[in-house]
Amino acid sequence: MEMPHTGAPDDGLNLKRYLVLIASLIFMIVGTGSIYFLVVALKLISAEFEWPRTIPSIAYSLQYFGGGVGGIFMGWVLDRMGMAVPAFVGALMIGAGALLTTYISNEWQLFFIYGVMMGLLGRSALFSPLTANITRWFEHKRGMAVGIVGSGQALAGAVWPPIFNYTFGIYGWRDTSFWYGVFTLATLLPLCLVLKMRPPATILAPALAKRSDGAKPLILSPRRMQITLCFASIGCCVAMSLPLAHLVSHVSDLGYDPARGAEILSLMLACAAVASFFGVGFLSGRFGGLKAIFVFSTAQMIFLFALAFVNDLTSLYLVGALFGLGYGGILPCYPIIVREFLPAAEAGRRTGLVILCAGGGMALGAWLGGISVDLTGSYQLGFIIGALFNLANLLIISSLIVRARLQLAEA
């Protein structure tokens, strides 16, 4: 019988933990490349088919929305069966979707591939189940582990845009998509063998009332807390999506080489990876998930608003980097908050619900960017609207912090 984790686990259990952590990080980095492929290819695809930018923006949005919807099911499968099934389905669909992207010739094919294959069945296996799964492996360093896995999204953004921008110039976007699909299948399918391992038994009782074991006190009922977190995630993710989906095109529209846009996006996401890798564990460990997300979301709002008004290249690099430091810590905080205030046995599906709404916010933000440039010829209005959505997120999170403080004062 395996002994429960007491702070000094045996070497075999430690090895499994860190194997799953590394496999989850690599899975996130490689799988998230599908998002940044479309970011860098947005103008190329629009130009080849003579489509408005709204068309590839909708495909980008569908991937997030489909991933959110599918994430609820993948979270339910994780709670019931473990990570093996979500990992295998996600790896297969992202790889196959990239291969089929090579052959698209009309809008519905692009929408189907990105909405159903890469979104509903592919991206759904990434953030929600991977982060929820890792919370079950790390009981005492949970914030650090979630931050590391969550940083895979940002690291993907630091790695893939320069690669895609370079290979587009040599091979074109179709051949690049084909070889990305081959690489994805060759990398992710073997990792499924690691991710199929089951975590050690953990305490799965709801962390809803103040207890002697240090669980967080109740601040809202589980249903109200779930709904509140879902609304909060929409606000921050509308703001988050605008630069992620449109920064390369925005920089190009300002008159700079698209390669500069890819570099700024890469820098932004490298900074986001640093924030996720180091900042999430540090802030959530010291102050809890709610205060940590408030800090990150504030930074994101400030620098998204600044992005609407800066034009020179140096300022774009600086603002992009600072935006990344804020953006990178936001999404990894949600699985931590779920585990702090909601039943651990339902972490997969509850995290999936929050990320569904986050995906809806990402989809709305990407669409707002596309429609704003089609209507006004500029992304400025879209960035300002995104900052206002971000402000709504901060108001919701601050209300939860106040309620938690009052609850502690009454205890």
Q: What is the largest CA-CA distance in the chain?
A: 65
pLDDT given for residue 177 in this prediction: 96
Query: Do 37 and 174 meet the contact criterion of CB atoms below 8 Å apart?
Result: no
Query: Do 348 and 128 meet the contact criterion of CB atoms below 8 Å apart?
Result: yes
Mean pLDDT of 301-325: 94
pLDDT given for residue 383 in this prediction: 94
What one-character DSSP code corresponds to residue 8?
S
The answer to whether residue 266 scores a pLDDT higher than 50 is: yes
269: in domain: yes
The answer to whether residue 1 scores a pLDDT higher than 70 is: no
pTM over 0.85: no
377: in domain: yes
Domain with residue 402: its CATH number is: 1.20.1250.20
Range from 1-5, 48-52, 69-73, 112-116 carrying the lowest mean pLDDT: 1-5
pLDDT band at 62 (very low <50, low <70, confident <90, very high): confident
334: in domain: yes
The 10 Å Cβ neighbour count of residue 46 is 18
**Tokens standing for 66?**
């489909």
**Tokens standing for 134?**
């890792």
Provide the domain count of the chain: 1
Q: Which of 396, 403, 34 is nearest to 227 (CA)?
A: 396
6: in domain: no
The answer to whether residue 210 scores a pLDDT higher than 60 is: no
Give the three-class secondary structure for 379. Answer: coil
The answer to whether residue 199 scores a pLDDT higher than 70 is: yes
Angle at which helices 33-49 and 84-101 cross, to 10°? 20
Alpha helix locations (H) across 254-312? 258-274, 280-287, 289-307
Range from 112-126, 302-316, 348-362 carrying the lowest mean pLDDT: 348-362
pLDDT in tens, 369-384: 888 888 888 899 999 9
Query: Do 324 and 270 meet the contact criterion of CB atoms below 8 Å apart?
Result: yes
Residue 259 sits at the vertex; the CA angle it makes with 52 and 47, to the nearest 5 degrees, is 20
pLDDT given for residue 308 in this prediction: 92
**Tokens standing for 21?**
């952590």
What's the chain's length in residues? Answer: 411
pLDDT in tens, 4-61: 444 444 666 788 899 999 999 999 999 999 988 988 888 889 889 988 878 888 898 8
pLDDT given for residue 342 in this prediction: 84
Question: What is the residue range of 77's domain?
Answer: 15-410
7: in domain: no
| Residue for token pair 């967080």 | 216
pLDDT given for residue 7 in this prediction: 46
Q: Which of 216, 220, 351 is nearest to 287 (CA)?
A: 216
Contacts of 294 (CB under 8 A, 6+ apart): 394, 397, 398, 401
pLDDT given for residue 285 in this prediction: 82
1: in domain: no
407 vs 169, residue with greater confidence: 169
8: in domain: no
Range from 139-153, 234-248, 313-327 carrying the lowest mean pLDDT: 139-153
Mean pLDDT of 267-289: 88
Query: Do 131 and 332 meet the contact criterion of CB atoms below 8 Å apart?
Result: yes
5: in domain: no
CA–CA gap between residue 265 and residue 262 (Å, rounded): 5
Query: Do 381 and 187 meet the contact criterion of CB atoms below 8 Å apart?
Result: no
Residue 363 sits at the vertex; the CA angle it makes with 116 and 108, to the nearest 5 degrees, is 40
